[in-house]
Amino acid sequence: MAGKTDLRRFPGFLAVTTLCLFVLYAPLIVVAVYSFNASTSITNWGGMSLMWYVDVFTGPEAPKFQKAALNSMIIAVCASVIATIVATLAAVAMTRAGRLRGKIFSFALINLPLMVPEVVTAVASLVFFSAIGFTTGLTTILIAHTVFCIPFAYLPISARMQSIPDMYEQAAMDLYASPREAFRLVLLPLMTPGILSGFLLAFIISLDDFLITNFVKGAGVETLPTAIFGSVKQGIKPNIMAISTLMLVVSVAFVSLSWLVGRMGQDKKKNN
Amino acid sequence: MASPEIAVSVDQVVKRYGNVTALNGVSLDIRENEFFTLLGPSGCGKTTLLRAIAGFEDVTEGHIRLKGQDLVDQPPFKRPVNTVFQQYALFPHMSVTENVLFGLLRKSWSRQDAERRAQDVLELVQLSDFADRKPGQLSGGQQQRVALARALAPRPEVLLLDEPLSALDLKLRQAVRMELKAIQRETGIAFIFVTHDQEEALTMSDRIAVMSAGHVQQVGTPKEIYETPVNRFVADFIGETNLLDVQVLSVTGGLAQVLMPGNRNFKCPAAAVVNAGPGHLSVRPERISVCAEAAGDLSATVIDHTYLGTDIQLHVKLVDGEAMSVRLQNAETTLMPETGVVVGLSLEAGAARLLAD
Ligand SMILES: Nc1ncnc2c1ncn2[C@@H]1O[C@H](COP(=O)(O)OP(=O)(O)OP(=O)(O)O)[C@@H](O)[C@H]1O
Ligand SMILES: [Mg+2]
């Protein structure tokens, strides 16, 4: 087709692509494969076994990981729910408030956390919490997670919101719905796919986070990623690979779900 | 004070967007139980006026009254006025019935009454069989009727329709016109209908307001608008017309004496504001007949003709070079003048009209 460049014509394109994909995925594949290793070695294949998965749930480190997993879950659920609510309200305000003063500024403010190096946010959060004399622990993790999840929840919600013409709310108000009813009965149901998609994305981002968590968590409180890191520092055992593989599966499942939900909304719109 | 039979009274309404003036002092009285059309070219302010009546736009100046009561400070959800949107704006996540019920339930009808009413209006628009479908599963024409049913259901004082037929194909559009008119008669609700299609306006309306550039040019019945346009814009916009440059010799009592191109005298009705001097004579092509050269009010050379089925359009040129078109009925008895022949054109006495600019 005219105007479209065939990428395959660039010399070395295939080689570079293959190399990138290899560097990205080979370690993941190795981890996943070796999690089924029947030996304590992390380099020698000793046959197929589920022993490390059993070890994760019943072995000596099991209580520690279970507690960490529970913490991760509580934080991910709370942070993503709060972040989704905030992001939904922000998206409505940004797309419906007309020429809101400082709209560009607000947009930048919401999305800035995506651009700021995470370690900077982590240090800043820690400094902030100690400055106001907040004891670090589960609450500080929750606050920090909520804040950095907002932009991730905001992106799919605002994308969805922008594709909903304001004629639906006008039609609702024309039919005697107060602005509040128009929001609840018409706008919110239409936004649902975006909201779900934003929620799932925020959830997985929170579940995966290591850096900020590690800074603000305080002594004794662990989430799954920090627990894994702590364990790895004392030497890598195959049970870590089993946990990592489990987390990978959960992550992939959530991201796929988020994408599917977003897609579903779009297909529905096309039919109208 | 508005008299009781006025449904909506638009009083000196001005609407500005920054330095764009969308409505420039519009005054209109829409009567109860009438099919009233706002007609005008794109950008003349039709949608803006409709949205101002519905409450989606604040007016910069002026008043809008519904049955004598000022609406200006009422939000849209408190105005007993419903709209059929151009894109229908049916709620995609609700079934046809739920869409129709929406307004009724917001107006605190009981569930039972609301459901009965929804059934009745769906029957009125012949959509009872589609009650459980989602809007996405309906054709354009069916969606248009759902939009109509939804807006009619809460028995508004006035129904506003913004080019509701423009998304339909030609055949369907013509069928729906008559249906819409019948529904208006049956419900007895005043309709304010926006269109830029003059044929649509002429066939459906009780009265038409012709708008241009934020002004109302003329309000009248289709016959008045077509046969006695008040100015060049209206004559030109409604239907096809020939506008001839003539010299006005005198005007007395609405009757003018003019000098035609080719220096023949002609007497015709004149619009109120015409004075002696140069003027424009509007002559509808179908009100002209061909005769012997000496007997005509004008003499013209035949240039060409176009076959239109029911009619034949004759293109002629006057002595001063002006082009005109004449419509002759396509009957066996019609004599078709040959190209190049000089003929006389005789204008029906009441059919030509002298207009100001
Ligand atoms: N929100 C707005 N901001 C600025 N100008 C506007 C706005 N809405 C309408 N206008 C202007 O007001 C004028 C009238 O617009 P309006 O939509 O009423 O026209 P219309 O008669 O409905 O035209 P059409 O037949 O194309 O729908 C136009 O010049 C338009 O550009
Ligand atoms: Mg319009």
B48 lines ligand 1 (CB under 6 A): yes
Using N-to-C axis directions, what is the helix angle for A118-131 and A138-162, rounded to 10°?
130
| The predicted structure's pLDDT at residue B216 | 94
User: In this complex, which of B54, B77, B93 lies closest to A189 when CB atoms are compared?
Assistant: B93
Characterize the bridge pairing of strands B35-39 and B311-318: unpaired
B interface mutation test: which of A169, A170, A176 has the most B CBs within 10 A? A176
Which residue has the CA at smallest separation from atom 1 of ligand 1? B17
- ∠ CA A260-A261-A264, nearest 5°, is 85
B17 lines ligand 1 (CB under 6 A): yes
Which residue has the CA at smallest separation from atom 31 of ligand 1? B43
Distance CA A263, CA A18 (A): 29
Q: Say which residue the tokens 């910069």 belong to.
A: B60
Least reliable range by pLDDT among A10-14, A177-181, B10-14, B146-150? A10-14
Closest alpha carbon to B337 in B305, B295, B297, B309: B305
Write out the two tokens for A83: 């972040």
Give percent helix, percent strand, percent coil of chain B, each to the nearest 5: 30, 40, 35
pTM of the model: 0.80
CA of A140 to nearest chain B CA: how many angstroms apart? 40
Ligand 2 is an ion; residues with CB less than 5 A from it: B 47
User: In this complex, which of B81, B85, B154 lies closest to A167 when CB atoms are compared?
Assistant: B85
| The predicted structure's pLDDT at residue A76 | 94
Q: Is a pLDDT exceeding 50 seen at residue B54? A: yes
Q: Can you name the CATH fold of B6-227?
A: Rossmann fold (3.40.50)
Distance CA A53, CA B12 (A): 80
Sketch the domain layout of chain B as residue ranges.
Answer: 6-227, 240-355
CA B174 to centroid of chain Cα atoms: 15
CATH of range B240-355; options 2.40.50.140, 3.10.100.10, 3.10.20.70, 3.30.43.10: 2.40.50.140
Percent over 70 (pLDDT), chain B? 98
Write out the two tokens for A240: 């870590």
| The predicted structure's pLDDT at residue B190 | 93
Q: Do A167 and B106 touch (CB under 8 A)?
A: no
Q: Is a pLDDT exceeding 90 seen at residue B161? A: yes
| The predicted structure's pLDDT at residue B40 | 92
Distance CA A193, CA A188 (A): 10
Q: Do B91 and A269 touch (CB under 8 A)?
A: no
DSSP B230: S
DSSP per-residue codes, B156-209: -SEEEEESTTTTS-HHHHHHHHHHHHHHHHHH--EEEEEES-HHHHHHH-SEEE
Ranges of residues in chain A whose predicted pLDDT is under 70: 1-5, 7-8, 98-101, 265-272
How far is CA B161 from each of CA B53, B81, B83, B84, B144, rounded to the nearest angstrom? 11, 11, 6, 5, 11
- Give contacts of A189 with chain B, Cβ < 8 Å: 93
Query: For B316-340, what is the mean pLDDT?
Result: 82
Query: Is the ipTM reported for this complex over the cut 0.85?
Result: no
Q: Do B85 and A190 touch (CB under 8 A)?
A: no
Sequence-distant (6+) residues with CB within 8 A of A221 are A71, A136, A137, A138, A141
Least reliable range by pLDDT among A29-43, A189-203, B193-207, B220-234? A29-43
Write out the two tokens for B256: 């003018």
| The predicted structure's pLDDT at residue A51 | 85
Q: Is a pLDDT exceeding 80 seen at residue B112? A: yes
| The predicted structure's pLDDT at residue A170 | 92
A interface mutation test: which of B91, B107, B144, B152 has the most A CBs within 10 A? B91
| The predicted structure's pLDDT at residue A77 | 94
